Structure 1
Amino acid sequence: MKNLLLFLTILLAVASCDQPDYDTILKNGLIYDGSGDKPYKADVAIKADTVAAIGDLSEFTATEIIDLNGLAVAPGFINMLSWANTALLEDGRSQGDIRQGVTLEVLGEGSSMGPLTDSMKLDMSTDQGDIKYEVKWTTLGEYLQYLEEKGISTNVASFVGNGTLRRYAVGNENRKATPEELDVMKGLVKQAMEEGAVGISSSLLYAPSGYADTQELVELAKVASEYDGMYISHIRSEGSELLEAINELITISREANIAAEVYHLKASGQEYWNKLDTAIMLIEDARKEGLLVTADIYTYPASSTGLHVQLPDWVREEGVEATIKRLADSTLRERILSEIKFTNPPSSIMLVGFKNEELRKYTGMRLDAVAEELGKTPAEAMIDLIVEDDSRIQ
């Protein structure tokens, strides 16, 4: 028996000597570590799901060694404003982003996948496009847990959207929340933060998120601040009132003692481009004051939203469903047409998302070209398309 134990001990020792140090070594890479510092040459070792070592690893072994010959190596990229919330339900592999190096999807721009009332769950179940799914969650935390259990390639995080909170407590009405409704929303923020939300978001160009006034947003942000969350916002205006909108975000940061970020900072529309330098200066001044105010920006001269944002504000009140009813009302048509002022010329507006299969032939066409084909003005074509598609049209 002693000889057998000795033999097994020696066998294990020999086997352990043959085990490689790491699963994978990426050698001779140019490391961009995300700090903003200059890149440097180094090797990267991976063991299981962890970056185990960075440096000169020439003395170490691995199951797989890949010579990068100076190619760039970087941490996974972060999609700060991801709308993969339903796409991940359909296909958790996230091939559209992960093949571009995105390893974290941050969801929840102004609206989030929870918390939901029964009526909100019903709306979410019935108002679906090509991707069909069951709403098997109620809270934001339950949605995130559902994604994880379903299986996804990327990491996910989410803000809780003030628009979702408003629908939950107030509905789609354009009015000030009552003290009782505000208390409900604050309680929901608390719950969402305890379930793992990273902060509270707003998307103030859209209903019902934009029906919240500054003080309401401050009160909700104060709750998120207690959990070291942040406030992030598609600000109230990116054009004529860009500076006022940035000042609102700075006010919320100051009064709620919370880090705040501007989603996709820009001056939208050529006539407002001269505002951008001042906008950046406002953010820099807030940072000098000691406020944790930041901004993100995409690196291309285009944006994506609903065609309905070209309509007058009163037409868009109470959400897309109410908007479509107004557009279909023949008694309102002339008034709506007279008040449409395109913030972007129709020649620059590309139609990319339809629910109605018969209208998908216009996908990729500019609004002015579609209008010409229909024999209508761009404003008339826009109204008719939105009504016929029964959607805001992307």
Structure 2
Amino acid sequence: MAAKRFFSVLCVLLSIQLSYAQYSPSKLKTLDSALTILHQRASFSGVVLVAENGKTVYKKALGIANLALQEPLKTTSSFNLASVSKQFMAMMVMMLKEKGKLQFDDKVQQHLPDFPYEKISIRHLLTHTSGLPEYFELAQKHNNTLDTLTNEKLLQLLKTHQPNLEFGVGEKWEYNNTGYVILASVIEKAAGMPIEDFFKQQITRPLGMNDTYIYCLRMKQSPVNRVMGYQRKNGRNVPNDLIRLDGVVGDGNVYSSVEDLLKWDQALYTQKLVSAATWQEAITPVKFNNGQTHPYGFAWFIENDGKVLSHTGSWVGFFNEIIRNIEKKQTIIILSNSTDATVRKVVKDVLAGNVLKLPKTELISNIKLIDGSGTASRPAAVRLRDDKIWEVGDLVPFPNEPVTEGKGMTLAPGFIDSHSHHFGGLEEHPDGIAALNQGITTIVTGQDGGSTPMDTIQSFFKKRPVAINVATYTGHSTLRAKAMGAKSLYRTAKPEEVEKMKNLLRDEMNKGSLGLATGLEYESAFFSNRDEVLTLAKVAAELGGRYMSHIRSEDINLDEAIDEIIEIGQQTKMPVQISHIKIAKRDQWGNALALLGKLQKARAQGVNITADCYPYDFWNSTLRVLFPNRDYTNSASAEFAVTQLCDPEKSVVVRFAPNKDYAGKTLSQIATLRQEKPAQTLMALIAQAADFEERNPDYEGGIEAIMGKSMDESDIADFLSWSHTNICSDGAWRGHPRGHGAFTRVLGTYVRDKKIMPLETAIHKMTGLTAEHLGMTDRGIVQSGYYADLVLLNPETVKDNANIQNSTALSSGIEKVWVNGQLVYESQKTTGKFPGVFIKRQ
């Protein structure tokens, strides 16, 4: 009976407590579940407290306070508040103002004569309107690693070096830690005692805040209940606590617990510390010199016309937040020590009734990791978190965590195709299977001088989700067509047209284009002069871009074409890359090493020149490209084409709109059908194609194309092996088999069978090296913080199956592919997920 009576009373009390609570029991239950899951997934160590009307309705501690001792956290554990500390500095300034020791508009020099900026006032420091530079770089630049920074040393650094202000005093708001360190020195001077003593005397002791104090590295002894910061790295917790800058006080290094911070919160509703008028000044938006305001007062962000006050704090391992809803008398206090800010958003989303999105993790275990850096493979496991790689090492699954069993196969970064034409097929094939089946997760378009505008690609991604990532260069020929007109490309550009091209390129670069790409061997750009190209390249360089080129000649004028791209690299100082490097003239075969020597010499002279290469001895282009001098009716040139620039018996016409029966036949076979010599047939086909184009101006799709056999196998091996060559496909959704098999051909034919390089080197050339050549800093390596583009492959079975007869045959040995953390390809099938993104220049 007594137990029943107690239970009834408890229910009544609980219902009374929740009757005034605006946070429903279901929200608090969801919050508790969310925090538990975050902790189980190693994404939260800390304490959360929620209060209404000054009464705690929820509090929970999860995690450890001290790595070495493995002490559990408690709700009385004292965390470094980081920037939440600033509100205590502001309060002490307000108290000193009420004691007549200072005024908010006093110039700092009145209290600290060594302070070198005469216009800056105490109010400017309080409101982040001083323009002072952050002290971190100043201290790192002028102090050595054994020198712990203190408030006094910072003041001397400012006096000695007098760094320029970031903006005029009082002109704008910019968050600034230096100002609050200087404020701490002002407080000490005005109070006439160490700041920690004044803090205890005026705030912590009167409010009964027994877990709250100031601690920094200039103090000899660390308090017993001080929570230590840590960080999870590759499955292990490592210290992430105070550093040599932490001899200062003011911008951080106040410690407190959630219990004490609730006392602090409640005291701010009273006049125990300062008068209502002084407090009102603290929560009034700062006013600039021009009369405009910013929603920040004295160490409080101000929202909803002052109805909500808040502040975050982030330093070393600590990520904290305090939120005070003045109107609803609600308080949220979040203290964490695991270098993870996720909890802040989760708590606010749950309590606001927003859709809860917890981090999703997945473990890929039992794999041989080739991380894309070129280093040796190693046994490991890799953990994904949402769209990024989180951990790499000896990892065990979290409770209920999805696990992919790697079965001892090789896990590598997703391959990056630096020269791709797959984008044109994404509308029809958003699953990206042509790329994914060979392990490609990112394609780079805009090649050979033709590109899609940045805005168009951006719009495409909004309308049409796809499975792979896309980045782009801006095409030179596209710029020429816009500036000169599509029918006026067979001449050099006029100065005013070049100026228009420069403006168009500048606009595309500002929107995130990787740089300028040229296709100088093609008619749309062939008639441009070197000065035009160099002028545009300089624009790309000025905006931090890169230059990539299908050079002006790959056969009779190869040396001059190489000289041109080297000159562009010399004059612009930006990285330059040769697209699909090759030697296409028969009597020059075997000279790959000499060509690479020339490139290596240029690199030694400071030119950052690189190349990409595909693993085939035949190319795919138009029939017209076989006439370097564009003299399509010259029989001598036609004879030269079929003896030096292609082998007519192995060169296949893959598309010919005037006579579709020719598609799939070699040039020699067509010549036999026509009872002509191959040279005559070549001229005839070009003439027929031109006539067809004139009579069918709206014909969709290419009119003619040929796969020309014109490279030597030993040259290809040498080009692939050069340490500055990355792999590309130059492929599309149909046509040349490279569109479905270039990368797997390298892994199967050139690595496993011909053994021209180790597997680790080949994968480096498909991932980390490619990312470096493109300026991508968060893809191409399996490392924490990089995007989770990954491929699981079997080195023993990986191979290309696409050929001229069946150019879309899927590769073998690519077992699984992830793009931005989502599985998009498995067992030669796509999964129907479309996580691809448009990557802009970084």
CA-to-aligned-CA distance 1:167-204 (integer Å, 9 cap, x gap): 22234343332221111111111011011110001111
SS across alignment from 1:90: coil
Is residue 444–residue 473 contact of structure 2 (8 Å, CA) maintained in 1?
yes
The aligned residue for residue 220 of structure 2 is none
2:375 is equivalent to residue 77 of structure 1: no
2:671 is equivalent to residue 371 of structure 1: yes
The aligned residue for residue 651 of structure 2 is 349
The aligned residue for residue 614 of structure 2 is 298
Q: Distance in 2 between matches of 1:236 and 1:151?
A: 36
The aligned residue for residue 543 of structure 2 is 227
User: What is the letter of the counterpart of residue 274 of structure 1?
Assistant: G
Is residue 23–residue 62 contact of structure 1 (8 Å, CA) maintained in 2?
no
Superposition pairs of residues 80-91 of structure 1, within 5 angstroms: 80-91=418-429
Instruction: Give 1:12 deviation, angstroms.
Output: 5.0
Instruction: Give 1:14 deviation, angstroms.
Output: 5.2
Instruction: Give 1:91 deviation, angstroms.
Output: 2.4
Q: Distance in 2 between matches of 1:161 and 1:347?
A: 34
2:653 is equivalent to residue 337 of structure 1: no
Superposition pairs of residues 215-294 of structure 1, within 5 angstroms: 215-294=531-610
Per mean C-alpha deviation after superposition, the further-off stretch among 172-181 and 42-51 is 172-181
Superposition pairs of residues 127-146 of structure 1, within 5 angstroms: 140-146=453-459
| CA 52–213 in structure 1, closer or farther in 2 if over 3 Å, else same | same
The aligned residue for residue 479 of structure 2 is 165
Normalised by the size of structure 2, how large is the TM-score?
0.39
Instruction: Give 1:11 deviation, angstroms.
Output: 7.0
| CA 264–62 in structure 1, closer or farther in 2 if over 3 Å, else same | farther
| CA 367–11 in structure 1, closer or farther in 2 if over 3 Å, else same | closer
The aligned residue for residue 684 of structure 2 is 384
The one of 177, 187, 203 aligned to 2:493: 177
| CA 296–11 in structure 1, closer or farther in 2 if over 3 Å, else same | closer
2:452 is equivalent to residue 152 of structure 1: no
Is residue 498–residue 532 contact of structure 2 (8 Å, CA) maintained in 1?
yes
The aligned residue for residue 393 of structure 1 is 705
The aligned residue for residue 508 of structure 2 is 192
Is residue 631–residue 637 contact of structure 2 (8 Å, CA) maintained in 1?
no
Instruction: Give 1:73 deviation, angstroms.
Output: 0.9
The aligned residue for residue 118 of structure 2 is none
CA-to-aligned-CA distance 1:52-98 (integer Å, 9 cap, x gap): 22111115345321111221111111111111232112222211112
Instruction: Give 1:104 deviation, angstroms.
Output: 1.0
| CA 282–301 in structure 1, closer or farther in 2 if over 3 Å, else same | same
| CA 310–2 in structure 1, closer or farther in 2 if over 3 Å, else same | farther
SS across alignment from 1:69: coil
CA RMSD of aligned residues (A): 2.4
Per mean C-alpha deviation after superposition, the further-off stretch among 17-26 and 164-173 is 17-26
The aligned residue for residue 67 of structure 1 is 405
SS across alignment from 1:41: strand
User: What is the letter of the counterpart of residue 669 of structure 2?
Assistant: A
| CA 311–268 in structure 1, closer or farther in 2 if over 3 Å, else same | closer
Is residue 477–residue 524 contact of structure 2 (8 Å, CA) maintained in 1?
yes
Instruction: Give 1:2 deviation, angstroms.
Output: 5.8
| CA 301–173 in structure 1, closer or farther in 2 if over 3 Å, else same | closer
Instruction: Give 1:263 deviation, angstroms.
Output: 0.5
| CA 61–377 in structure 1, closer or farther in 2 if over 3 Å, else same | farther
Higher RCO (CA-CA < 8 Å; seq separation 6+): 2
CA-to-aligned-CA distance 1:265-285 (integer Å, 9 cap, x gap): 111133112332121011111
Is residue 447–residue 475 contact of structure 2 (8 Å, CA) maintained in 1?
yes
Q: Distance in 2 between matches of 1:145 and 1:248?
A: 33
Q: Distance in 2 between matches of 1:284 and 1:7?
A: 69
Instruction: Give 1:315 deviation, angstroms.
Output: 3.5
Q: Distance in 2 between matches of 1:11 and 1:196?
A: 41
The aligned residue for residue 51 of structure 1 is 389
Instruction: Give 1:380 deviation, angstroms.
Output: 2.8
User: What is the letter of the counterpart of residue 148 of structure 1?
Assistant: F
| CA 365–110 in structure 1, closer or farther in 2 if over 3 Å, else same | same
SS across alignment from 1:54: strand
Q: Distance in 1 between matches of 2:477 and 2:34?
A: 59
Q: Distance in 1 between matches of 2:433 and 2:626?
A: 33
The aligned residue for residue 331 of structure 1 is none
The number of residues matched between the two structures is: 349
Per mean C-alpha deviation after superposition, the further-off stretch among 254-263 and 55-64 is 55-64
| CA 164–288 in structure 1, closer or farther in 2 if over 3 Å, else same | same
Instruction: Give 1:7 deviation, angstroms.
Output: 7.2
SS across alignment from 2:705: coil
- What residue ranges of structure 1 are gaps of 5+ in the alignment? 115-139, 317-334
The aligned residue for residue 27 of structure 1 is 365
The aligned residue for residue 132 of structure 1 is none
Q: Distance in 2 between matches of 1:13 and 1:237?
A: 67
The aligned residue for residue 38 of structure 1 is 376
Instruction: Give 1:232 deviation, angstroms.
Output: 0.5
SS across alignment from 1:100: coil
SS across alignment from 1:351: strand
Is residue 200–residue 224 contact of structure 1 (8 Å, CA) maintained in 2?
yes
| CA 15–253 in structure 1, closer or farther in 2 if over 3 Å, else same | closer
User: What is the letter of the counterpart of residue 158 of structure 1?
Assistant: T
Q: Distance in 1 between matches of 2:542 and 2:34?
A: 52
Is residue 570–residue 606 contact of structure 2 (8 Å, CA) maintained in 1?
no
The one of 630, 634, 642 aligned to 1:314: 630
SS across alignment from 2:498: helix
| CA 191–176 in structure 1, closer or farther in 2 if over 3 Å, else same | same
Q: Distance in 1 between matches of 2:576 and 2:37?
A: 52
SS across alignment from 1:304: strand
Instruction: Give 1:240 deviation, angstroms.
Output: 2.8
Normalised by the size of structure 1, how large is the TM-score?
0.81
User: What is the letter of the counterpart of residue 371 of structure 1?
Assistant: A
The aligned residue for residue 117 of structure 1 is none
The aligned residue for residue 431 of structure 2 is 93
Q: Distance in 1 between matches of 2:13 and 2:407?
A: 52
Is residue 253–residue 259 contact of structure 1 (8 Å, CA) maintained in 2?
yes
User: What is the letter of the counterpart of residue 170 of structure 1?
Assistant: M
User: What is the letter of the counterpart of residue 445 of structure 2?
Assistant: L
Instruction: Give 1:210 deviation, angstroms.
Output: 1.7
- Structure with larger Rg: 2
| CA 266–314 in structure 1, closer or farther in 2 if over 3 Å, else same | closer
| CA 235–2 in structure 1, closer or farther in 2 if over 3 Å, else same | farther
User: What is the letter of the counterpart of residue 154 of structure 1?
Assistant: I
Between the aligned residues of both structures, percent identity stands at: 28
